[in-house]
Structure 1
Amino acid sequence: MNGGRLSMAARAYIVGLSAVAVAVGIALVRTSGSGALVGTFIVLTGLGMLTHAFPVQGLRHQAYQVTLPFIITGAALFSATQLITFVVLIHLAEQARLRRRLHIQWFNLCNYFVSAAMAAGFFHRAIALLPEGAPGQVAAAMAAGCTFVALNRAFLAGALWLARGLSPAASGLLLPRLLAADLIIAWIAGPMLVLTLQAGPWMVLVTAGPLLLARTALSVLVPRRRHPARQARARAA
C-alpha cells in the first residue's frame, strides 16, 4: 500500500477485511468466556506493545515483529474483549512510534485481529480434541501459531498484490527462511502458555527470553534495502 492513491480494488479489499473483522468480533463476543486474569492480561499486553512497537524493518513493505508468542498466548487465554483490546493497544503502540499511514495501520489491525481470532478458534478446537495437560496445550498452541502465520501472510499478500502490484513471490512473504523464522517464534507460545497456566503470569517474562535472540536472527534474515552509499562502495569494490 503505497503513499499514493489507493486503487478501487485495494479500497474494496480493506473495506471487506474490515467487515470480516467486525463480524468476527461480534461472533467472538457472543461465544467468549471469562478470559484471563488481570495480571496475565497486563503482562502479555505490555510485552506485546513493547515488541510490536520495535519491528525489524525490511524492504518498504516488510516489517517483522516478534510479537507472535504473546498474540498466540493471548488468543488462547483472553476473552473477546481482552483480545480486541490487546490487538488495538499493540497497534497503537506501533503507531505512536512509527507513524504509519492510517489506512495501512487500520489494515494491519484488522488483519491481526481476524488472524488472532481464527487462531483462538483453532486453539480451542484442538484443546477439545487433544489429551488434557501440557502436551495437548503445547500442540494446540502450535496449531494456533501456524493458523495465525498462514492467515496473516495470506491477507497481507492480497493487500500487496492489489495495492502495489506485488505477487506473493515478488513480495518476499513466502521466503522459506522467513516463514520458518515466524513459525519458530510462534512455537515459543507453547511453553509460554503452559508455564503461565501452571505458575502464573510472571512466567511470561521467563519464556520470552529467547525472543531477544529471535530479533537478532530476524535482523540477519530479513532482506533490506541497501543504503545508496553502500551500493556505490559495493560497485566500486
Structure 2
Amino acid sequence: MSSKVQVKICGLSTAADIDAAVGAGARYFGFVFFSKSPRNVSVEDARPLALLVPEGICKVALTVNADDAFLDRLTGSVALDMLQLHGSESPERVAEVRSRYGLPVMKAVGVAGAEDLENLDRYLGVADQILIDAKPPKGAALPGGNGLAFEWRLIAGRRWPIPWMLAGGLTPANVGEAIRCTGAVQVDVSSGVESAPGIKDAAKIAEFVRATQVPNLRIA
C-alpha cells in the first residue's frame, strides 16, 4: 500500500530548528551529543529543546560510544523516546543499553561495500531499528554527518526483520532517487539541510521533506 516516507532531521540545536522541522512534517527529531560535531548540544541545552517537541514526534539522542555515566545523566535530564548509538558499540553493548534505559535503540551501521552488510546483521537481534549510513573515511573526526553517500544499489531490494532508516549524503536533490533505488520508508538527513555546518536551513528542511514524498511509490 502507498504510505508516506518518515523523515528524521538530525542535529537540531535551536528552537527555530524545532519549529522548522515541525512545520515541515518530520517524524523524528535528532539531537547530537558528541563534542566533535558542529551539531553538538549539551544536556542542559537539550532539555528545553526536547520540551518544545510536540507529542507524537520521536525525540532521538545520538551518542557515540557513550558510557553509562553520561547516559544516566542524559536520560535523567532530557525527555527522550529513542537512543541512537552511532559509534563502534558491540551488539552486547547495544543490548545492555536497551535493557538499562528501557528505551528503543537505533544502531547506526556504516556501509561502504557488501561486506559491511554482514556487520549490520549482527545487530538485528538486539536493536529496535537500524540506521544504514555511509561509512566515514579513515581518519574522519565524525562517524556521521559527513555529507557522504554510499552505493545505494548495495541494499536495493534488501529487507530486514526490524525497521531501518537510510542516511548518508541525502539532500533535497537526491533523496527521491535514493528512496526509489532502495525502497527506504524512513530517511535521515543532517548536513543536507544546512546552510553551513551545524546551521539548519528552514527552507531546505521543508524542501527535503517534500522531496521524500515520491509520486506513485508503493510501500509494502
TM-score norm. by structure 2 comes to 0.31
Larger radius of gyration: 1
Q: Which has the higher helix share?
A: 1
